[in-house]
Amino acid sequence: MSRYIATRILSSLVILWIVSLVSFLLMNLLPGDPSFGIGGIESTPESLAAIRERLHLNDPLMERYFRWLFNALQGDLGLSLINQVSITDQFARRLPATIELGVLSLLVVVMVAIPVGVLAALRPGSKREVTASTTMIVGNSVPEFLTGIALILLLGLELDLLPVGGYVSIGEDPIENLKRMAMPVLAISLTATTLLMRQTRSAMINVLNDDYIRTARAKGLRERTVIIRHGLRNAMIPVVTIFGFQVGLIFSGAVITENVFAIPGMGRWFVESVVINQDFAIIQNVVMFFAVAVVFVNLLVDLSYPLLDPRIRAGRETA
Amino acid sequence: MSDGTAPQAAPPLLSLSGLAERPWYRALRAILRVYVRNRPAVVGAVILIGFGIVAALAPLLAPADPLQTEQTREAVFNSPSWDHLAGTDRLGRDVLSRAIFGTRIAWQIVIVAIGIAVGLGVPLGLLAGYVGGKLDELVIMRVVDAVMAMPGLILILAVVGATGPSLTNTMIIIGVVWAPGYARLTRGIVLSIKQEVYIDAARAIGAPPARIMRRHMLPNVIAPVMVLASLSAAGIILTEAGLSFIGAGVQPPTPAWGGMVAEGYRTMLTRGAWPLVAPALGIILLVMSFNFVGDGMRDAMDPRLRNVR
């Protein structure tokens, strides 16, 4: 059991290490010279050289990599290339909006997807099931930004129920904060919900065909007990497995949606750094943030398997 | 391969009656029979073909030049009319024509990106599964895990940050990021058939590994890869549309659907939503068709699901 936990933690660290190496090399080996972006059109070869010197761009690659890694582990993410402000400070300012978006979206996704997925699995082939699975595919085909725009047109302009964008922190005004979060959260949740719903549905269909379900029914258990205690509990493993993926999907959704609704979070910052500023220092740190978040959730998922499946608890790793 | 008893006559290559006896042909017929019973999947396939035709014949079908601007007060932000069926945008360009040419961009990205993903992923998966050992466990699968652990859009954005946005970059990056999925699928299949008797037999008669992978393993991979391709086509279009929407994908004035929506969105609150309606419908319809086709193919090919309906 402790061996299982140790392997999972170790392999998470390995993945993060690979991501850090890849994102660092990507930013530093591909063509493009950040000093030019900082110096601007009027820069001379001398001023460019001075900028390169100041940014330590002339140091050996590996030295720079380990300096970044070492400082980052101590909470110092360095300075942005464009205006030389502390990236750690910016992180602190950008993080709350994105974390709130993510947590609220995940809540909506789980609370809608799992019950509906179970219901859709109960009678495969029935009209309700076919409608549900068709709706899932349709919902799965609309990109977050179009959902967002449709919500703005409907709830924001037509019905005038909600403000169409911007961000107010939860400490400042909790009600206004929720009002402004409602549409972005809905836009992000739609895709993730349909995916989790499909996963729940197919896991439940598989499980409900198993012999022990027939046994449970045969010994006279109530249908509710059969479905929840015997069905859902066993169907949870494949459902929980895609949680890490779900969180990734929600973050991707946040990157897009923050741009639709003008929310000053990590996603908007990331896009600004990529599209407008090409600020490598910010990009590599933001990528690491998303990687740490997703890998951490995946680790939690792995660690939850022993709780869900006694076979793993007993140390027989079959999956 | 001779089975050691009597030499058999080679089956005629181009005979239709011979075709009907081939096992793969019979399997295909069986799959098709299930597929055509799935109405959304058939409708999806028809729509896909329609979009394909529109993409191929875009210059003939588009009523106007997609790049032709007309910046007068009367020509911009028109609602749909007989002259401009989908209205005009902020530069007075015909939205329908741009959406029609956008179909081309969408297909181009899907085809090139999937080509790259399959071309990289399937050989890697074959290699990882067949050779196994350290190459598999320590190198290929670790990289695959690391890439797949990252949300695709974020990984792609990071690469765009390094390379700069363009149509070519978008296609290549999406293809590379999608490749690990194909590698993992292929490896899984190879591992599951590695111990089959016919693989042992091929090895026993001295077939080299490259031949075993190509002739005996690859055919098992084709059908699942086709399903994955159809489903990932949907994801690729969504990703590309998202990238172009935030300005990190195909750059204006090239008419990509995501970029058109972004342009329309910027003026939506003041000038109305008409410029983004046609490209938005294009994205939704094409993605939905790919999803329905992929779903139909999977249901038709997976014998376990076949009995469910």
Question: How big is the A-B interface in CB pairs under 8 Å?
Answer: 142
Amino acid B19: pLDDT: 60
Q: What is the pLDDT of residues A133-142, one digit of tens each?
A: 777 788 888 9
Query: Could you give the CA distance from residue A288 to residue A283 in angstroms, rounded to a whole number?
Result: 9
Selection from A167-181, A259-273, A302-316, B194-208 with the highest mean pLDDT: A259-273
Summarize the confidence of residues B84-109 as an average pLDDT. Answer: 88
Q: Is residue B195 in a domain?
A: yes
Distance from the Cα of A193 to chain B's closest Cα (Å) equals 16
- Contact between B288 and A137 (Cβ < 8 Å): yes
Summarize the confidence of residues A98-124 as an average pLDDT. Answer: 89
Cβ-defined contact of B145 to A280 (cutoff 8 Å) = no
Domain count, chain B: 1
Amino acid A195: pLDDT: 84
Q: Which of B150, B241, B273 is the closest to A19 by Cβ?
A: B150
Q: Is residue B81 in a domain?
A: no
Selection from A180-189, A209-218, A273-282 with the highest mean pLDDT: A180-189
- Packing angle of the helix pair B141-149, B167-193 (nearest 10 deg): 130
Q: B299: Cβ–Cβ under 8 A, 6 or more apart, which residues? A: B34, B35, B38, B41, B305, B306, B309
Residue B309 has pLDDT above 50, yes or no: no
Amino acid B16: pLDDT: 55
Cβ-defined contact of B245 to A259 (cutoff 8 Å) = yes
Q: What is the pLDDT of residues B57-92, one digit of tens each?
A: 988 888 888 888 888 888 888 888 888 788 888 888
Cβ-defined contact of A143 to B142 (cutoff 8 Å) = no
Distance from the Cα of A34 to chain B's closest Cα (Å) equals 10
Summarize the confidence of residues A214-242 as an average pLDDT. Answer: 84
Cβ-defined contact of B146 to A32 (cutoff 8 Å) = no
Contact list in A for residue B142 (CB cut-off 8 A) is 14-15, 18
A8, A11, A14, A15: best mutation site toward chain B, by most B Cβ within 10 Å? A15
Distance from the Cα of B249 to chain A's closest Cα (Å) equals 9
B254 touches chain A (CB under 8 A): no
Q: What is the pTM of this model?
A: 0.85
Amino acid B308: pLDDT: 39
> Residues of B numbered 114-133 whose beta carbons fall under 8 angstroms of chain A's beta carbons: which are they?
none
Cβ-defined contact of B248 to A274 (cutoff 8 Å) = yes
Mean pLDDT of chain B: 84
Domains and CATH numbers, chain A: 95-318 (1.10.3720.10)
Q: Which amino acid makes up residue B136?
A: D
Q: Which two tokens stand for residue A27?
A: 């930013």
Q: What is the pLDDT of residues B132-186, one digit of tens each?
A: 877 777 788 888 887 887 888 998 998 888 888 889 989 999 999 999 999 999 9
Amino acid B23: pLDDT: 67
Q: Is residue B140 in a domain?
A: yes
Residue B2 has pLDDT above 70, yes or no: no
Q: CA B83 → CA A70, A167, A185, B77, B264, distances in Å?
A: 63, 41, 39, 13, 19
> Residues of B numbered 21-60 whose beta carbons fall under 8 angstroms of chain A's beta carbons: which are they?
40
Residue B307 has pLDDT above 90, yes or no: no
Q: Which amino acid makes up residue B182?
A: Y
Summarize the confidence of residues A103-107 as an average pLDDT. Answer: 94
Q: What is the pLDDT of residues B20-35, one digit of tens each?
A: 666 667 777 878 888 8
Q: Domain range spanning residue B177?
A: 23-55+86-306
Q: What is the pLDDT of residues B212-247, one digit of tens each?
A: 888 888 888 888 888 889 889 999 999 999 999 999
Q: What is the pLDDT of residues B240-273, one digit of tens each?
A: 999 999 999 899 888 999 999 999 898 888 888 8
Mean pLDDT of chain A: 84
Question: φ and ψ at B88, to 5 degrees?
Answer: -125, 160
Amino acid A77: pLDDT: 83
A51 vs A232 pLDDT, higher one: A232
B270 touches chain A (CB under 8 A): no
Reference B147, options B177, B183, B185; nearest CA is B177
Q: CA A92 → CA A290, A305, B35, distances in Å?
A: 15, 33, 52
Q: What is the pLDDT of residues A48-83, one digit of tens each?
A: 787 777 777 777 888 888 888 888 888 888 888 777
Give the position of tokens 């302009």.
A157
Amino acid A277: pLDDT: 81
Q: Provide, rounded to the nearest whole percent, the portion of chain B with pLDDT above 70.
A: 90
Question: φ and ψ at B166, to 5 degrees?
Answer: -165, 165
Q: What is the pLDDT of residues A256-267, one digit of tens each?
A: 999 999 999 999
Residue B1 has pLDDT above 60, yes or no: no
Residue A212 has pLDDT above 70, yes or no: yes
Cβ-defined contact of A287 to B155 (cutoff 8 Å) = yes
B283 touches chain A (CB under 8 A): yes
Query: Could you give the CA distance from residue B215 to residue B199 in angstroms, rounded to a whole number?
Result: 10
pLDDT band at B3 (very low <50, low <70, confident <90, very high): very low
Q: B213: Cβ–Cβ under 8 A, 6 or more apart, which residues? A: B126, B127, B130, B190
Q: Which of B149, B159, B295 is the closest to A26 by Cβ?
A: B159
Nearest CA in chain B to A261: B265
Q: Is residue B126 in a domain?
A: yes
Selection from A19-28, A69-78, A197-206, B96-105 with the highest mean pLDDT: B96-105
Amino acid B101: pLDDT: 94
Amino acid B22: pLDDT: 66
Q: B181: Cβ–Cβ under 8 A, 6 or more apart, which residues? A: B117, B121, B148, B228, B232
Q: Which of B162, B234, B284 is the closest to A30 by Cβ?
A: B162
Q: Is residue B152 in a domain?
A: yes
Amino acid B10: pLDDT: 53
Q: Is residue B80 in a domain?
A: no
Q: Which amino acid makes up residue A208?
A: L
pLDDT band at B52 (very low <50, low <70, confident <90, very high): very high
Terminal-residue alpha carbon distance, chain B: 40
Amino acid B4: pLDDT: 46
Q: Is residue B134 in a domain?
A: yes
Q: Is residue B92 in a domain?
A: yes
pLDDT band at A38 (very low <50, low <70, confident <90, very high): low
CA atoms within a 13 Å half-sphere pointing along the CA-CB vector of A109: 32
Residue B303 has pLDDT above 60, yes or no: no
**CATH number for the domain including B47?**
1.10.3720.10
Q: Which of B149, B165, B258 is the closest to A291 by Cβ?
A: B149
Q: Provide, rounded to the nearest whole percent, the portion of chain A with pLDDT above 90.
A: 20
Strand ranges inside A222-274, DSSP E: none
Distance from the Cα of A74 to chain B's closest Cα (Å) equals 23
Cβ-defined contact of B160 to A271 (cutoff 8 Å) = no
Contact list in A for residue B180 (CB cut-off 8 A) is none
